[in-house]
Structure 1
Amino acid sequence: MNKLLLTSVFLLGLSGIAAAADAVVLEPTPEILPAGFVWTGGYVGLQAGYGWGDGDLSSPGGLATAPADIDGWLGGVYAGYNHQLANNVVLGIDADIAWSGIDGFGQAFIFGFPVPNSGIDYDLNWTGAVRAKLGYAVDRFLPYIAGGVAFAGANGTFVSGGTPVQEFSDTLVGWTVGVGVEYAFTDNLLARAEYRYTDYGDLDFTLGGTDGSFGFKTSDVRVGLAYKF
């Protein structure tokens, strides 16, 4: 009888423990962010800057060349989203588009000899990029690196005897990398300054049955002001 009683008590105890366990709902542990400014959120802003770099002509066998120093101002808009982790690492995506006045003229050389009043006009009419960002938040400061795909509307114009002969244009796709820093003046007003290097790739052409390409590579510095929401 005593054994039967002890067994019944034991089984009732197990049933109670199981019921109590079923009643407990485990909530996921929330991510705890550090005190201070939090970078998580979207933003949209205006940017302006100055770019410089190289334009070059590639032809079969290197017969003709037309290297150029290209430079000019640029300005446009940008937007993106940041997500701050508990360890202050900030991950983000950033996209921009800008009007560009970056251009330059390259003197033509044939077999290394200059051709008077002849060469290539290089023009970047607009630029854009979609980049991934990786930063580290120091309260309201955010130093970061960024890289991704770059785009540009480019022209290459043959000039002979001082007169434009034929223009080629295309939308180029290349790559870009850069570094920058952002500062939050308020909870909604973000400023940035950054440096980028970009290789926009080649603009291919065919002239007189001969294939070739124009190349565009730039460095630029930009500043921006954005609204965080």
Structure 2
Amino acid sequence: MNSFAKRALGATLVLAIAAPVYAGSPSEPVIEPVPTPIAVTPSSDWTGGYVGVQLGYGELTEDLEGDGMIGGIAAGYDWDLGDWVVGIGADVNLGDISTDAGDLDSLTRLKVRGGYDFGGTMLYATTGASYADSGDFGNSWGYFGGIGVEHMLDDAWSLTGEVAVHQFDDFNDYDQVNATTATVGLNYRF
């Protein structure tokens, strides 16, 4: 047997042995489906209590002028009525709003709010009683109104931002004092 015949016989044997391996192979590659990730969105149920912290800026105008940083704590309870949310709350802000007459030390509020539920975000309006206290020039009750937005990060945590205008009509020797506050906060909801 010559060398060409030996090679041809060897190649034939290799193909004969390998043919059964390829015989059952599919003609097209198998494509397995990949699971699609599902985004987890926070619950949009606003019903429940909350406590939180806030930080912001306050400015006094009219008969007493000054500005400075404020910060404090907040607590409240909301009721989710479908597309609408109503709630009650209170907050205490300490600060160092400096004026020519001295410093405004604290601003406390009792409030109600109502807003529209956009799912995980609520746009709201708020109003209520406001109490300002200063060791330098006394204290006064007033009222306020404001707007804000709150966004749920998950079922337990939410971010909030609010702008409010406070009016005090009789602040001891000053006829009228207006305070504008802008705050951002972090609430724990339960």
Do both proteins adopt the same fold according to a TM-score greater than 0.5, normalized to the shorter chain?
yes
* Number of the residue aligned with 1:184: 152
- Are positions 1:224 and 2:185 aligned together? yes
The percent of aligned pairs where both chains have the same amino acid is 32
SS of 1:203 mapped into structure 2: coil
Give runs of aligned pairs for residues 159-170 of structure 1, distance below 5 A: 168-169=137-138
Deviation at residue 85 of structure 1 after TM alignment: 0.6
Q: CA–CA distance in 2 between the matches of 1:213 and 1:36?
A: 47
Deviation at residue 221 of structure 1 after TM alignment: 0.6
Asked if the contact 2:43–2:155 (Cα under 8 Å) also holds between the matched residues in 1, the reply is: no
Equivalenced residue count is: 149
Q: Which runs of 5+ in 1 are unaligned?
A: 1-34, 57-67, 106-120, 157-167, 205-211
- Are positions 1:213 and 2:161 aligned together? no
Deviation digits for residues 94-121 of structure 1 (CA, Å, limit 9, x no counterpart): 210010211222xxxxxxxxxxxxxxx1
Give runs of aligned pairs for residues 127-206 of structure 1, distance below 5 A: 127-155=107-135, 168-169=137-138, 171-204=139-172
* Number of the residue aligned with 1:80: 76
Give runs of aligned pairs for residues 68-107 of structure 1, distance below 5 A: 68-86=64-82, 88-105=83-100
**Counterpart AA for 1:139:** G
Q: CA–CA distance in 1 between the matches of 2:73 and 2:117?
A: 23
* Number of the residue aligned with 1:108: none
Structure having the higher strand fraction is 1
Q: CA–CA distance in 2 between the matches of 1:154 and 1:172?
A: 9
Asked if the contact 2:109–2:131 (Cα under 8 Å) also holds between the matched residues in 1, the reply is: yes
SS of 2:65 mapped into structure 1: strand
- Are positions 1:39 and 2:39 aligned together? no
**Runs of 4+ in structure 1 displaced over 4 angstroms?**
none
Q: CA–CA distance in 2 between the matches of 1:215 and 1:103?
A: 17
Asked if the contact 2:130–2:166 (Cα under 8 Å) also holds between the matched residues in 1, the reply is: yes
Asked if the contact 1:147–1:176 (Cα under 8 Å) also holds between the matched residues in 2, the reply is: yes
Q: CA–CA distance in 1 between the matches of 2:62 and 2:95?
A: 15
Asked if the contact 2:43–2:154 (Cα under 8 Å) also holds between the matched residues in 1, the reply is: no
Query: TM-score, normalized by length of structure 1?
Result: 0.61
* Number of the residue aligned with 2:28: none
Asked if the contact 1:70–1:122 (Cα under 8 Å) also holds between the matched residues in 2, the reply is: no
Q: Which runs of 5+ in 2 are unaligned?
A: 1-41
Q: CA–CA distance in 1 between the matches of 2:102 and 2:165?
A: 18
Flag the structure with larger Rg: 2
Deviation digits for residues 123-148 of structure 1 (CA, Å, limit 9, x no counterpart): 21101101110001111000000000
- Are positions 1:52 and 2:32 aligned together? no
